[in-house]
Amino acid sequence: VSVGARALTGDIYKGHVFWDTEIFLLPFYTFTWPAAARAMLMYRYHTLPAARTKAESLGYRGALYAWESADTGEETTPPFALGPQRQIIPIHNGVREHHISADIAYAIWQYWQATRDTSFLLEAGAEILLETARFWASRAQLEDDGRYHIRGVIGPDEYHDDVDDNAYTNVMAAFNIECALKIARLLKQRQRDRWESLRARLTLDAEEMAHWGEVQARLITGLNPETGLFEQFAGFFSLENIDLKAFTGRTAPMDVVLGPERTRLSQVVKQADVIMLLILLGHRYEPRIHETNFDYYEPRTGHGSSLSPPAHAVLAARLGRVELAKQLFDETAAIDLDDTMGNAAGGVHIGALGGLWQAAILGFAGLQLENVGIRLEPHLPPSWRRMSFPVQWRRRRVRVRIEIEPLRLNVTLERGQPMSIHVGELRHQLTRGEIWKCIQRSDGAWQEVNRGH
Ligand code: IFM
């Protein structure tokens, strides 16, 4: 089983599982309770047959997961909703919001990086990665410009519900293919027999995988290397630019204020889209790209989903914009605590709560995975005196404590083999029971204070 968009606390979305689980909630489990993360990912393995059927029914290969999923994994997104005047409003997410397949692949990859759980990979993870990669290779089309395109999708910003080359979808799709190819190489080298039987069962051959590589390399990304700006989708920059500051104090979402048609023709973004991409794959882009895109998209985002403020909080914190990050963090907490979206009776916004954890740990504490351990880059909001949290990494358990003024870090390895901890320019091989202490000097550099047990 998995966790629905309101967990078990209310009936909004009828318990259906969305990308909220893999992208917003799962990091918490992966880094603190990997067995639970594994169980939740196994739900996607049990529902893989339904994802294959969905891809096939739309004319594609591989696995396309349901946008809304329940016990069997069949598509459960309602095809329409009734509007305030009882008019029928079509809902296209079930047929066009395809990024969920790449989101699931991303979560598997992250789980694999954090745990090195080979049995999960062999039992389920590799097959999902390969089948979702196969979907993207069939979904993308080669056009006269010599590039692959993915047309007619809905990205995370659902105000624009039929777009071409959504940067988030395309870059995540390319990443999905890249991970599948890496895993195929790894299994081929280290688990030859298992690889051969999986390959035969999926009728995969070298030619097909070479095609995946082509798609990955030539898929349009929307990134302009000169400006550093991603275009959220083809044509986004030509849409009407609306100053959201003029609507400060509104209580209704922007698509209600402007109407769906004008919103669709504008640059008003429902929720983190390019910004989400930079959170997930940020390590691949230089800081200038993070800054440029945050400055462009943040003022254009109406936060029409509870998932949006925590995502912005993560990136704002990573960029060191701690006041703004703290404000977005508080706004996220208020969604359930103060019922600021007016729908708390339908259940807690569990994805946003996962986002709060991410804002604290991946944002303010700046936790990142590295090949040999973890990296921390703390930026605490001035009103926080200290934070302390556990992290699990490849069968180790680490306790991190951060305090201000000045910024200090204590890291303890509570369980497991030695591992590397990285902060600023400092890197330390931490052994079990050891407490590694460092302090940030006034020039911003980190300095080791002392070690002890
Ligand atoms: O998955 C989200 C989507 O991103 C925005 N609308 C609500 C869904 C469920 O939380």
Q: Residue 451: pLDDT band by 50, 70, 90 thresholds? A: low
Q: How far, in Å, is the centroid of ligand 1 from the Cα of 34?
A: 24
Q: Is 168 in the pocket of ligand 1 (CB under 6 A)?
A: no
Whether 434 sits among the annotated catalytic residues: the reply is no
Atom 6 (ligand 1) nearest CA: 305
Q: Is 31 in the pocket of ligand 1 (CB under 6 A)?
A: no
Q: How far, in Å, is the centroid of ligand 1 from the Cα of 305?
A: 6
Nearest to 171 by CA among 270, 253, 258, 293: 293
What is the rounded average pLDDT of the residues 178-197? Answer: 97
Atom 4 (ligand 1) nearest CA: 156
Q: Which atom of ligand 1 sits closest to the CA of residue 18? A: 1
Q: How far, in Å, is the centroid of ligand 1 from the Cα of 204?
A: 34
What is the rounded average pLDDT of the residues 309-330? Answer: 98
What is the rounded average pLDDT of the residues 387-411? Answer: 97
Q: What is the pLDDT of residue 83?
A: 81
What is the rounded average pLDDT of the residues 356-372? Answer: 97
**237: helix, strand or coil:** helix
- 382 prior amide bond cis, ω within 30: no
Q: What is the pLDDT of residue 98?
A: 98
What is the rounded average pLDDT of the residues 12-16? Answer: 96
Residue 453 has pLDDT above 90, yes or no: no
CA–CA gap between residue 100 and residue 98 (Å, rounded): 5
Mutate to test the pocket of ligand 1, among 11, 20, 22, 100 (most ligand atoms within 8 A of CB): 20
Q: Are 354 and 361 in contact (CB under 8 A)?
A: no
Catalytic residue among 22, 68, 97, 158: 158
Q: What is the pLDDT of residues 228-279, one digit of tens each?
A: 999 999 999 999 999 999 999 998 999 999 999 999 999 999 999 999 999 9
Atom 10 (ligand 1) nearest CA: 5
Q: Is 3 in the pocket of ligand 1 (CB under 6 A)?
A: no
Q: Are 148 and 215 in contact (CB under 8 A)?
A: yes
Task: Supply the mean pLDDT for the chain.
Answer: 97
Residue 360 has pLDDT above 90, yes or no: yes
Range in 131-135, 140-144, 250-254, 271-275 with the lowest mean pLDDT: 250-254
Residue 397 has pLDDT above 80, yes or no: yes
Q: Is 73 in the pocket of ligand 1 (CB under 6 A)?
A: no
Mutate to test the pocket of ligand 1, among 2, 17, 158, 335 (most ligand atoms within 8 A of CB): 158
Which residue type sits at 277?
L
What is the rounded average pLDDT of the residues 322-340? Answer: 97
Phi-psi region of 184 (alpha: psi -120 to 50; beta: other; left: phi over 0): alpha
Q: Is 27 in the pocket of ligand 1 (CB under 6 A)?
A: no
Count of C-beta atoms within a 10 Å radius of residue 305:
21
Q: What is the pLDDT of residues 61-119, one digit of tens each?
A: 999 999 999 999 999 999 999 987 888 999 999 999 999 999 999 999 999 999 999 99
Residue 452 has pLDDT above 70, yes or no: no
Phi, psi at 430, each rounded to 5°: -90, 135
Q: Is 159 in the pocket of ligand 1 (CB under 6 A)?
A: no
What is the rounded average pLDDT of the residues 180-193? Answer: 98
CB hemisphere CA count around 150 (13 angstroms): 32
Q: How far, in Å, is the centroid of ligand 1 from the Cα of 17?
A: 10
Taking each helix axis from N to C end, the angle separating 308-318 and 287-297, rounded to the nearest 10 degrees, works out to: 140
Q: How far, in Å, is the centroid of ligand 1 from the Cα of 156?
A: 8
Nearest to 19 by CA among 60, 88, 68: 68
How many residues are given for the chain? 453
CA–CA gap between residue 366 and residue 360 (Å, rounded): 8
Taking each helix axis from N to C end, the angle separating 126-139 and 99-115, rounded to the nearest 10 degrees, works out to: 150
Q: Is 348 in the pocket of ligand 1 (CB under 6 A)?
A: no
Q: Residue 450: pLDDT band by 50, 70, 90 thresholds? A: confident
Q: Is 19 in the pocket of ligand 1 (CB under 6 A)?
A: yes
Percentage above 90 pLDDT, the chain: 97
Nearest to 397 by CA among 377, 419, 375, 376: 419
